[in-house]
Structure 1
């Protein structure tokens, strides 16, 4: 097989992995909160389940990234699929608070396990075929587009499927009888997602070939992971470009936290009822993911037109911040025009984030090698998650109106401004030296 064919196959496999991983999670977006409340959980208990997810993901983010760098991408990705499979079944069928909280924690564990290995596998493969100076942005953009498309399709299907089952009393009765009443209409999107997780695990094990790694023992793994994690933290503290990547991720996390926290209430107020507001939110979220997919698809063109990856990041995050400011300007207004402008702002947030992401990550991959790549991505993900948790908490304390939206827009704009007037970054240099204990990270 030629080198061009090898690279095309790697792009297809990476995009397929992105679809198979994110489609099940997309299926949960619309029904999850309603399912938890249908199981009898109060609003504080629902918040506790969500906190179990976030805290588990944050606690495991760096150790699992280090684990991927030590034992390999494929086995960690497969473990993420198994964790999500168990979680989706448990949440779909669980009836007690501890079962549902455990299921959400397992989803958090799967998120931590998955944040980095697939992308690291793709970059490792490209570098093995074409060297460290190979072009990465196109493949990363396709993966990001595939992720957004999977989330969009999953969100739409996950919102429609329970409604279809609930609207068909004969079908609903047959399904309830077959499952002894343990499966609600809201459970079926999660069970469908669990079946996709099986396909994900099988595909990862069959399709993601990687070079054999040196034989290691459990003691070696336990010793290697902390060294790799420490190297990732040192890299974030010492390398100026990596700091910009982390600050950009933090700004995006703040923006997304505000959008995800406040938009459902805004759609419910617009329609006049929580149920119809949830349907509208599902449609709007689907459109947002479609905008993110479009932005990611256009990322290579954006970088060419902007004159480089760093300028593309500034442009993308700036567009996203503009979307939040537009939502802030219409937050206190009513009527069709305000609703249309608010929806346009929502789309701009996701379009800008989608356009900036591939260029950010390509710049990040120029700074790390294969031994620490997944850990670097985990540090980036951790920055996004922690900033989202902090900004979401602050936004919930602000009075209704434009202020919470301005908080998210200002954070995203700040994430864009750290890239301004910083000079061009060389894609590769031979003067990089190791930062981690196992030689996994490089810096100028």
Structure 2
């Protein structure tokens, strides 16, 4: 059956939303840990900053998911972009542990606001055009691909800018001196990300269209949130397949937390300088997100080859666990062969998670009614952030070497093994759409 123009437009706008929202975190990803190190923060303190981010997301996920279901997708997405811009400015300019903790917490609040509304808007729009049985995996895969491409481009640019500012007459030194040390070369990509967030907010307010919702008051919004929060907490208990999706997302969160915390230090040890370390990590992380984008693009094909979306999730999470295992057994070695295996492992982590994500989310949307869609996505992100915070704290506290990587591999392997048993076929959910 031929797709309607409205479906194609929704797919394109959803991909653009994903790219614009995730470009700023990509810009900050390569320099952020090294920026905190330049500010005099120890690795354990940096792990605490990331835990503040994850725990803030965890606390706010379900209430903000409920807010989106009650108030609408567009206002919540716009608020997320504005809050993320403020958070990036605080991170770029903050010099104390309290300020940096606040910046990460603000970013966590923005992440909680943004975790479900864009995808929920896309699914709402497609199902309104094509019915509750509309094919979703292709659009979700393109959104994931756009996210990965934006993060990859942001990482590459975010790693290159501090390196370029440190070359020639050293404009980075002039910048630091002119701002009394408030703006370091590593701060520049983070501030650029804040500017991109302003573009994201403008796009949300002008391009997103959704059906009018009943007039709301602050009291009605607050009254509607507890019901959606309670329903979100019951999601995993009512449905075994939804529970697997949530636990799979949790395992992926633990894997990503370990990679993002430990990766910059590993490249810094190779180069010996923060600017070149950020550049090397940027190149590596950019390649990782390119792999994630390829995996997301191949997700529909992987599901057909594997025989089902569930088998595709099992394959993807298993490949990611194998990649973390390679990173663990090669930790501490600088010989060419182990280094090559580590690079391969890094790519496998992101490729595997890219393959698994769209199939997981399609399975989730087939089980969840439209009125609770953003709440379900928030519950998924909640699981991811909670386990990510825990694994990040443990990895930061463990002695550097293979053990932190092997811990993350074990967590992701456990998430993969949940998909060994095939669940019953999804059934239509009343009220979807």
Structure 2 Cα separation of the partners of residues 273 and 175 of structure 1: 19
Matched, 1:387 2:390: no
SS in 2 for 1:421: coil
Residue of structure 1 in register with 2:352 after alignment: 352
Residue of structure 1 in register with 2:136 after alignment: 136
* CA distance 1:259–1:93, change in 2 (3 Å): closer
Asked if structure 2 preserves the Cα contact closer than 8 Å seen for 1:70 and 1:221, the reply is: yes
Gaps of 5+ in 2: none
Residue of structure 2 in register with 1:304 after alignment: 304
Asked if structure 1 preserves the Cα contact closer than 8 Å seen for 2:136 and 2:362, the reply is: yes
Structure 2 Cα separation of the partners of residues 37 and 168 of structure 1: 24
Structure 2 Cα separation of the partners of residues 249 and 46 of structure 1: 23
Asked if structure 1 preserves the Cα contact closer than 8 Å seen for 2:255 and 2:388, the reply is: yes
Structure 2 Cα separation of the partners of residues 185 and 294 of structure 1: 31
Structure 2 Cα separation of the partners of residues 300 and 226 of structure 1: 36
Shift of 1:37: 3.9
SS in 2 for 1:343: helix
Query: 1:291-370 to 2 correspondence within 5 Å?
Result: 291-331=291-331, 333-370=333-370
* CA distance 1:275–1:211, change in 2 (3 Å): same
Structure 1 Cα separation of the partners of residues 178 and 369 of structure 2: 52
Per-residue CA deviation, residues 315-368 of structure 1 (Å, 9 max, x unaligned), is 111111121222233336441001001110110010000001000000000111
Query: 1:177-192 to 2 correspondence within 5 Å?
Result: 182-192=182-192
Residue of structure 2 in register with 1:371 after alignment: 371
Shift of 1:129: 0.5
Which 10-residue stretch deviates more, 2-11 or 76-85?
Answer: 2-11
Asked if structure 1 preserves the Cα contact closer than 8 Å seen for 2:57 and 2:109, the reply is: yes
* CA distance 1:259–1:191, change in 2 (3 Å): closer
Asked if structure 2 preserves the Cα contact closer than 8 Å seen for 1:235 and 1:441, the reply is: no
Query: 1:142-181 to 2 correspondence within 5 Å?
Result: 142-169=142-169, 171-172=171-172
Shift of 1:171: 4.4
* CA distance 1:57–1:47, change in 2 (3 Å): same
* CA distance 1:43–1:308, change in 2 (3 Å): closer
Residue of structure 2 in register with 1:113 after alignment: 113
Matched, 1:245 2:249: no
Structure 2 Cα separation of the partners of residues 118 and 96 of structure 1: 34
Asked if structure 2 preserves the Cα contact closer than 8 Å seen for 1:313 and 1:357, the reply is: yes
* CA distance 1:32–1:257, change in 2 (3 Å): closer
Shift of 1:269: 3.7
Residue of structure 1 in register with 2:256 after alignment: 256
Structure 1 Cα separation of the partners of residues 28 and 362 of structure 2: 30
Residue of structure 2 in register with 1:414 after alignment: 414
Matched, 1:51 2:55: no
* CA distance 1:307–1:233, change in 2 (3 Å): same
Matched, 1:198 2:198: yes
Structure 2 Cα separation of the partners of residues 397 and 183 of structure 1: 29
Tell me the matched-pair count: 432
SS in 1 for 2:367: coil
Structure 1 Cα separation of the partners of residues 424 and 64 of structure 2: 32
Residue of structure 1 in register with 2:15 after alignment: 15
Structure 1 Cα separation of the partners of residues 221 and 35 of structure 2: 39
Residue of structure 1 in register with 2:212 after alignment: 212
Shift of 1:262: 2.9
* CA distance 1:401–1:88, change in 2 (3 Å): closer
Which 10-residue stretch deviates more, 147-156 or 26-35?
Answer: 26-35
* CA distance 1:338–1:85, change in 2 (3 Å): same
Structure 2 Cα separation of the partners of residues 170 and 411 of structure 1: 44
Asked if structure 2 preserves the Cα contact closer than 8 Å seen for 1:155 and 1:282, the reply is: yes
Asked if structure 2 preserves the Cα contact closer than 8 Å seen for 1:291 and 1:350, the reply is: yes
Per-residue CA deviation, residues 92-123 of structure 1 (Å, 9 max, x unaligned), is 23445443332222111111111011001000
Q: Alpha carbon RMSD of aligned pairs, Å?
A: 2.4
Structure 1 Cα separation of the partners of residues 262 and 183 of structure 2: 30
Structure 1 Cα separation of the partners of residues 171 and 395 of structure 2: 42
* CA distance 1:209–1:257, change in 2 (3 Å): same
Gaps of 5+ in 1: 434-439
Shift of 1:247: 1.3
* CA distance 1:47–1:370, change in 2 (3 Å): same
* CA distance 1:262–1:147, change in 2 (3 Å): same
* CA distance 1:332–1:253, change in 2 (3 Å): same
Residue of structure 2 in register with 1:437 after alignment: none
* CA distance 1:99–1:252, change in 2 (3 Å): closer
Structure 2 Cα separation of the partners of residues 87 and 268 of structure 1: 25
